[in-house]
Amino acid sequence: MVCKSVFAGGRSVKLVATELGGSDYISLNLYDLTGGARLVPCEMPVARVITFLADLERESAG
């Protein structure tokens, strides 16, 4: 299950996802800053979050 919350007029996004039937969990914040986007994972490596998002995008397009 994926839950997306948008704040600050769309300049801040929080994404939380839990594995259906499992215990895997992803949480991140994405900030649209003047100098560019900044991805801030919550207590996990950036690579894990990027892999999850890429898989989610492929699944959604599928």
Q: What is the pLDDT of residues 33-43, one digit of tens each?
A: 999 999 999 99
**What element of type H or E holds 17?**
strand 12-18
Q: What is the pLDDT of residue 58?
A: 79
Q: What is the pLDDT of residue 23?
A: 84
Please state the rounded mean pLDDT for residues 22-28: 89
Q: Is 56 helix (H, G, I), strand (E, B) or coil?
A: helix
pLDDT of residue 61: 81
pTM comes to 0.80
For the segment 2-15, the average pLDDT, to the nearest whole number, is 96
> What 3-state DSSP class applies to 24?
coil
